[in-house]
Amino acid sequence: MSHYLSDLRHTEFMLFDVLGVDSLYGRPPYDDIDRATAGAILHGAEHFARTRLAPSFDAAEREPILLEDGRVRLPADLRRALQDHLASDWLRLDLPADPDGTHIPPSLRWAATEFALGANPAVAMSTQLVPRVVALLQREGDEAQRRLAQQILDRRWTVTMVLTEPDAGSDVGAATTKAVPQTDGTWRLYGTKRFITWGEHDAAENIVHLVLARTPSGRGAGSAGLSLFVVPARHTDPVTGEPLERNGVRATKLEHKMGIVGTPTCELVFGTDGVPAVGTLLGRENTGLRLMFDIITYVRMLVGLKATAALSSGYLNAAAYAATRIQGKRLDDDPPAAPVPIVDHPDVRRSLLTQKSYAEGARSLVLYTASLLDTVEAYEAFGHPAGEAQRRYRLLLPVVKGWCSENAWRVLGSESLQTFGGSGYLRDYPLEQYVRDTKIDTIYEGTTGIQALDLLQRRIRRDQGHALHRLLADIEATAAQLNDGHELAVEGRLLLTGVSCVAGLSKWACRADLRLAALGANSLLFALGDLVVGWLLLRAAAAALRLQADTRLPDDQRLAATVATGRWFARQNLARLSTELTAVHLLDSSDLNLVWPTA
């Protein structure tokens, strides 16, 4: 049996019954998409992930990845899964459509991506990067780089993002890797890069690295002085793409990690052993970080979805276990009563409701954020500006990354694994690997603290709260619909209170000294995440109530569970937002002036 349990039905319910993304289908730019086609894409992607990717989920746990003389050797099952995904058509969903091709809406692409990330996150975190890098090379590259982009697809190569250095982690602008121009128009790179995911492996004949480095004109200019270079692991025939001799890029270290051990995370040295690392400049000098941010923003969404996929599968595994694990009697049973499944115990039900609400809430947040890009593309297809949808997408992106990753890591460990008791601590079940694999999501591509600062500085203060206030107005409108005559009236009032609390947090954050505001940035991120997730889960609950009222439909316990989930999250989470506002108002400058004692 596969470790991976997907929730395809909830994905379809959110996309079509709650968000109504299919209202844009059948017209530009989604002329060739209808609900049946979208459903077929989702079902096909889920089947591929479950049958072709999931079996090698723990391959590197059973057989370690090895580094020998600068070469990384993968376990056979993991190598095969990566090659299968590269050879499949599923990655092409994320490519820009040909003029005569089918344009796939972003929300549908992201929904399909969840299955690969849940089935085998190690593989998917490599392969899902390919379409984005190919699109960047096609858009920004010269003729040779555009040809290279096609060779990446045709020859099934992999790609990497090469940013981090030993002394330049979150502060990318501190990077010192240098690029020296050559008379033939190429560049030679010199330096050491660290924490490069899939930096070296034997599953593809070539790896194309996107490397941030500093040219002579960028010295001393911080992040603004970085340029972006295309550096293949092997030189290639410029016409056929046939691999030739190795370039001067060498893996000198393989990191030994807490989780995602199926991803070879490498230290790469450029220009070593007398072999130059030859690359070509992408775009103009000193625009590297701007170009790379197209990839970084994509990967931040990818990381949030990876965490969501793990949490969802963890919850479904826990629910299945709780339904079959017999242990103890009901609290209200007489002593002679027979033992019952642990799902009958109140605390286990509390735990499962918590897991379900966070898993479905995280997915709802990702899909809603992705649906904003559907709107952007639809407006642009008719030549109209889509500023509001674009601003809301940018507002929510750090929330997707930060809220989903932190809550997935927390809930998987404190609730999902806990449901299994001592068995959850064993490798007999996938939960302990889920926990280890998910912790990284709070760290890479910008820690949660960095996401919170991005939300505070760029998305709220710089925007003067415009996008946030428009979002709060939409949430307030939903709360007004859940009036005193509605079955969700109590939750509607909690939603309204949540709007007031987040508005208060935003007002404080905009007026406070920046350093003091930064002290409360995490609280702002999580409060906004709780509010938006509560809003989406209550919209889902309201949609479920409407479907339940349709007497033509069969009685569906899953609809009742959707209503219960929305109620639970609202009463357990939205009810607590007022305490966040109080706590933030109690912050003062003395909290910033503490001198940490040294040993």
pLDDT (tens digit per residue) in 155-198: 999 999 999 999 988 888 899 999 999 999 999 999 999 999 99
Residue 584 and residue 520 in contact, taking contact as beta carbons nearer than 8 Å: yes
Q: What is the pLDDT at residue 100?
A: 56
From CA 184, how far away is CA 186, in angstroms rounded? 6
- For the chain, the distance separating the N- and C-terminal CA atoms, rounded to the nearest angstrom, is 51
Ordered structural domains, the chain, with CATH? 8-135 (1.10.540.10), 158-286 (2.40.110.20), 464-588 (no CATH)
> Between 521-549 and 577-585, two packed helices, what is the crossing angle to 10 degrees?
170
Residue 81 and residue 120 in contact, taking contact as beta carbons nearer than 8 Å: yes
The count of other CB atoms within 10 Å of the CB of residue 449 is 15
Structure pTM? 0.96
Residue pLDDT, tens place only, 264-290: 999 999 998 789 999 999 999 999 999
Nearest to 312 by CA among 368, 364, 258, 349: 364
From CA 158, how far away is CA 130, in angstroms rounded? 6
557 Cβ contact partners less than 8 Å away, ≥ 6 residues apart: none
From CA 228, how far away is CA 562, in angstroms rounded? 47
Q: What is the pLDDT at residue 321?
A: 98
From CA 538, how far away is CA 14, in angstroms rounded? 12
Residue pLDDT, tens place only, 78-116: 999 999 999 998 888 888 776 556 789 999 999 999 999
Q: What is the pLDDT at residue 552?
A: 66
Q: Is the pLDDT of residue 64 over 80?
A: yes
From CA 478, how far away is CA 493, in angstroms rounded? 10
445 flagged as catalytic: yes
b/e map of 282-311 (b: 16 or more CB within 10 Å)? bbebbbbbebbeebebbbbbbbbbbbbbbb
Stretch (H or E) spanning 182? none
Q: Is the pLDDT of residue 495 over 90?
A: yes
Q: What is the average pLDDT value for the chain, to the nearest integer?
A: 94
List residues bridging with 72 in a β-sheet. Answer: 67
DSSP 591: G
Of 408-417, 437-446, 507-516, 546-555, which gets the smallest average pLDDT? 546-555
From CA 376, how far away is CA 520, in angstroms rounded? 31
Nearest to 82 by CA among 46, 122, 117, 115: 122
Three-class SS of 2-39: CCCCCCHHHHHHHHHHHCCHHHHCCCCCCCCCCHHHHH
Q: What are phi and psi of 455, to 5 degrees?
A: -60, -45
Tell me which of 114, 445, 491, 580 is the catalytic residue. Answer: 445
